[in-house]
Amino acid sequence: MTSKPVPLKNNLVQPLVPDLKVRIAFLIVPDYTLLALSCAIEALRMANRSCGQTVYEWVVVSQNGEPVRASCGHYLEPVQRVSGMPKPDMLFVCGGINVSKQFNPELQATLRHWAQRCSVVGSLCTGSYLLAKAGLLDGYRAVIHWENMASLKELFPNVKFLDQVYVLDRDRYTCAGGVAPLDMMSQIFRKHLRQNVCTVISEQFILDRVRNESDRQRVPLQARVGKYHENLIEAAAIMEANIEEPYSMDEISKFVGVSRRQLERLFQRYLGQVPTKYYLDLRLQRARELLNQTSLSITEIAVICGFQSPPHFSKCYRSTFGLSPSSDRRQNLSTSGAD
């Protein structure tokens, strides 16, 4: 459970409701990822500190109330029995490696029981697999670590798995693992606190910014298409290495040693888009990173990412992201850079 927070020296953040208390339980299973759990808890601690009071209370629980071994080999204490804990507002199941081996009828019953009683049920890292296996993500948007995404799309066709960092869909909150729980918790805080605490969190944890729900996971191409499609992977690598001065498709085809038509078939079959669109998306994603993480001008970003003119860059950007580069930068500053 939480300890009394030591407030920050700057202005305190105020809850939307006086004396607000949000109780969160983290259900850990064997081989869970300690980093993901730690990021979630540290975000809660920092939110309490920014408020100067305990808005968020948390508890770590397991099926039998005993400590559970994390994937790194460490054990976390204290741990309570899940069946004996007071009703939380939110329950997050924390997964890790070998997650399919952790599912059993008792865990399924536990997850379904609390799904009926908690306002939110969610997951950290591969915990999304356990929720999906229990039938708790049918009809929902969800995310999971990119290593598991392809297989889960096949296993659970009624769940819309996305490549985002996290997704808050109604009463199901899921995130990709790693440090993504910190980003997800920061989004949750916006529902409870008057001011945006993303600036506080990013500064305290020395982050460039807290990511929002539109940010995507960086999914290696080999994980998406398999290691046997060497020509496709080589072509994509050439594109990624040449953003500022893009090659033509004829040049890339020549480097790879296949015809342009064959290259187009490979991209269409395994990535669902023509190579020119894939190349454009790479450049636009790089532009968005520079836009939201640097103070470079839009003209400078357009040149760095291989666009002939700022108007052409803005047109492509708006077509892909639904807003202009300047609007995207302002929106990012308002949601993650200013309280």
- CATH number of the CATH domain containing 285: 1.10.10.60
- Total number of domains in the chain: 2
Query: Is residue 326 pLDDT above 50, yes or no?
Result: yes
Shared domain for 31 and 128, answered yes or no, is yes
**Mean pLDDT for the stretch of residues 315-320:** 94
The whole-number pLDDT of residue 229 equals 80
Shared domain for 35 and 137, answered yes or no, is yes
Alpha-carbon span 144 to 128, nearest angstrom = 6
Q: Print the domain residue range for 281.
A: 226-333
Shared domain for 166 and 77, answered yes or no, is yes
Shared domain for 140 and 272, answered yes or no, is no
Query: Is residue 10 pLDDT above 70, yes or no?
Result: no
Q: Which of 154, 170, 204 is the last residue of a domain?
A: 204
More confident residue, 267 or 7: 267
More confident residue, 260 or 148: 260
**Mean pLDDT for the stretch of residues 148-161:** 87
Query: Is residue 184 pLDDT above 70, yes or no?
Result: yes
Shared domain for 176 and 79, answered yes or no, is yes
Query: Is residue 203 pLDDT above 50, yes or no?
Result: yes
Shared domain for 179 and 252, answered yes or no, is no
**Mean pLDDT for the stretch of residues 88-106:** 95
Shared domain for 323 and 251, answered yes or no, is yes
Q: What is the band of 337 on the pLDDT scale with cuts at 50, 70, 90?
A: very low
Q: Range with the lowest mean pLDDT among 173-177, 268-272, 278-282? A: 268-272
Shared domain for 313 and 262, answered yes or no, is yes
User: Six-digit token pair at 331?
Assistant: 């929106």
**Mean pLDDT for the stretch of residues 191-215:** 83
Q: Which of 204, 239, 255 is the last residue of a domain?
A: 204
Q: Is residue 213 part of a domain?
A: no
Shared domain for 114 and 169, answered yes or no, is yes
Query: Is residue 336 pLDDT above 60, yes or no?
Result: no
Query: Is residue 215 pLDDT above 50, yes or no?
Result: yes
Strand arrangement, sheet containing 120-124:
80-81, 56-62, 22-28, 90-94, 120-124, 172-175, 166-169
The whole-number pLDDT of residue 338 equals 41
CATH assignment of the domain containing 50: 3.40.50.880
Residue 172 host element (H or E)? strand 172-175
Query: Is residue 55 pLDDT above 90, yes or no?
Result: yes
DSSP summary character for residue 106: H
**Mean pLDDT for the stretch of residues 105-124:** 96
Shared domain for 76 and 188, answered yes or no, is yes
Q: Is residue 11 part of a domain?
A: no
Query: Is residue 117 pLDDT above 70, yes or no?
Result: yes
The whole-number pLDDT of residue 339 equals 38
Shared domain for 174 and 239, answered yes or no, is no
Best CA proximity match to 56, nearest among 41, 67, 70: 41
Q: Which of 204, 236, 256 is the last residue of a domain?
A: 204
Give burial (CB, 10 Å; 0-12/13-18/19+) of 311: exposed
Q: Is residue 8 part of a domain?
A: no
Best CA proximity match to 205, nearest among 2, 79, 38: 38
